[in-house]
Amino acid sequence: CGATLLYIFCYLWSGTMLKTEMIDKLNEQMNLELYSSLLYQQMSAWCSYHSFEGAAAFLRRHAQEEMTHMQRLFDYLTDTGSLPRINTVSSPFAEYTSLDELFRATYEHEQLITQKINELAHAAMTSQDYPTFNFLQWYVAEQHEEEKLFKSIIDKLTLAGKSGEGLYFIDKELSTLDTQN
């Protein structure tokens, strides 16, 4: 028993345990990444329903990528001796009027994620939680790429307008577009 108490004291004294506030923020972000995955999966279903199979495949791949983002946070929480908490996630929006509207919604969602990641990194830095700040730098860089990717898709959709032929070629390109661009 004495050795266990000594271990706990040393563990707490070493500063390796996350503060409760940071655990809550990381859990919130983890659940937001889970929601992102479900959102993109739902968007994929809309695309399939409207015969945009390339966009559907792209969004399915992106949904899987968002699950890996969630898993990274889950693993970080576990690795730091914290308890990941998966919450109930609200149903994602499912109705869009066009492919352009759908991808504008993805871009806005990625901007929200960027804001949340930046706030999280700021909280880690100001609380001198440098390991968490370092961990979050991957997300900061990833969000730059996410916004760039979705902005480029919106730009192409804007160029195509409502042209069936233009949308066909964009959909075809999306089928092979790497989510890691």
The answer to whether 180 is a known ligand-binding residue is no
The answer to whether 62 is a known ligand-binding residue is no
Q: What is the per-residue pLDDT across 117-170, written as a single tens digit (0 to 9) for each?
A: 999 999 999 999 999 999 999 999 999 999 999 999 999 999 888 878 888 888
- Cα dihedral 113, 115, 118, 119, rounded to 10, equals -110
Q: What confidence score (pLDDT) does residue 176 get?
A: 85
The answer to whether 119 is a known ligand-binding residue is no
Q: What confidence score (pLDDT) does residue 1 get?
A: 44
The answer to whether 146 is a known ligand-binding residue is no
Q: What confidence score (pLDDT) does residue 179 get?
A: 66
Q: What is the per-residue pLDDT across 63-99, written as a single tens digit (0 to 9) for each?
A: 999 999 999 999 999 999 999 999 999 999 999 999 9
Give this prediction's pTM. Answer: 0.86
The answer to whether 111 is a known ligand-binding residue is no
> Angle at CA 87, nearest 5°, toward 33 and 108?
35
- Cα dihedral 122, 93, 69, 174, rounded to 10, equals -120
Domains of the chain, CATH where assigned: 18-176 (1.20.1260.10)
